[in-house]
Amino acid sequence: MNRYRTSNRYWCFPIVLILSSACRNGDLVDTAAADPTSTSIQADLQGPALTSETIVGGGGVRLGTYEAGNPAGPSIVFIHGFTANYLTWDHQFYGSLASEFRLVAYDLRGHGASEKPLDAAKYTDGTLWADDLDALIRAKHLVRPVLVGWSYGGYIISDYIRKYGDGAIGGVVFLGAVTKQGTPEATGYLTDDMLAVVGDALSGDVQKSIDGTRALTRLFANPFIGLEWERALGSAMMVPPVVRLAMFSRTLDNDDVLSHIDVPTLVVQGAADRVVRVSAAKHIAATVPRAKLLVYDGVGHAVHQDAAQRFGRDLAEFVRATRAGQQ
């Protein structure tokens, strides 16, 4: 049996599509380059230019990384979700956070400007996702950064802590995230809307993939139309089908990891999320010791887009508190 067969409904787990395109004016990192490079990326929004650099992640995969904000400030690492890239964090990189914090993001393997190996094993091994994040922390010399994981980013944070523990990080933010995959319990944390369309989005058939992805992009923000929708669809189409299927072929629980997290943890969820049920956030908050849960009324799956200012304030307050607790 083909283990990547899309008819298995237990693969239907939170897919996070970007709310912006995978490239802007052609200035992303050239992943074909053998040596790390740094470039200046011009932003559409007001704010300082980002610095981009290629680093080597787990198994030698090249990753596009991005940095902005206050280089002397506390570090925040933003981890995007499935078929997204760093541009989904535009509101954070060019908002109020930039004056106080050092802001770092990267394109996941198989996404955006990062390398896209077509070997499924490069995406089914959780240690490789952990190694990517560890490589970023080490390459940027980050001191106890706060990790922010959106949707699929919740899996990656869990992968990292499972392998490396939480001794090198200052805190964790689960944002519209799910940490379980591949079981009936995990499926129960997803909405009916999500389950109805995700199978086509994971398909290798061109028409099903495009139509399914178009339907999925309508689920994320309130509203999600015009340029945002075009960018989301274009970004998703950059991710090869083998990558999509491999990412959702894993069976994950992660309660054992969550229950041993010993750093401050914030769980943020949109009450109007059409992808992930609020019960998923409640479960994470109940499992991580001393975690704080914030549910935003009227906000969808892309909390950082739908409620950018509120999320920025809450995130800043959380990071300040973690730093104060470390002193």
State residue 195's pLDDT score. 94
Task: Encode pLDDT of 192-221 as tens digits.
Answer: 999 998 898 888 898 998 898 888 878 876
Across the chain, what does the average pLDDT equal?
A: 85
Residue 34 main-chain phi, psi, to 5 deg: -80, -30
State residue 106's pLDDT score. 98
State residue 123's pLDDT score. 98
* pLDDT(318) > 80: yes
State residue 29's pLDDT score. 34
State residue 223's pLDDT score. 59
Percent of the chain with pLDDT over 90: 67
* C-alpha to C-alpha distance for 299 and 93, rounded to whole angstroms: 20
- Least confident range of 40-49, 69-78, 108-117, 282-291: 40-49
* pLDDT(1) > 70: no
Assess contact for 40 and 106: CB atoms under 8 A. no
How does DSSP assign 4-57, residue by residue?
Answer: T-TT-GGG-------SS-S-STT-S--TT-SS--EEEE--SSSSPPEEEEEEE-
Task: Encode pLDDT of 233-291 as tens digits.
Answer: 778 888 898 998 999 999 999 999 999 999 999 999 999 999 999 999 999 999 999 99
126-139 vs 153-164: helix crossing angle, rounded to 10: 80
State residue 214's pLDDT score. 82
Q: What class has domain 9-326?
A: alpha beta
Q: Cα 48 to chain center, whole Å?
A: 23
Task: Encode pLDDT of 115-137 as tens digits.
Answer: 999 999 999 999 999 999 999 99
Mean pLDDT for 98-121 is 97
Task: Encode pLDDT of 160-183 as tens digits.
Answer: 999 999 999 999 999 999 999 999
* pLDDT(187) > 50: yes
* C-alpha to C-alpha distance for 61 and 55, rounded to whole angstroms: 8
Residue 11 main-chain phi, psi, to 5 deg: -90, -5
Of 191 and 17, more confident: 191
Which residues sit opposite 78 in a β-bridge? 105, 148
Percent of the chain with pLDDT over 70: 82
* C-alpha to C-alpha distance for 130 and 13, rounded to whole angstroms: 20
Indicate the pLDDT class of residue 230, thresholds 50, 70 and 90.
confident
State residue 247's pLDDT score. 95
Q: Centre a 10 Å sphere on the Cβ of residue 42 and count the other Cβ atoms it contains.
A: 9
State residue 27's pLDDT score. 34
| pTM for the predicted model, two decimal places | 0.85
State residue 327's pLDDT score. 66
* pLDDT(85) > 70: yes
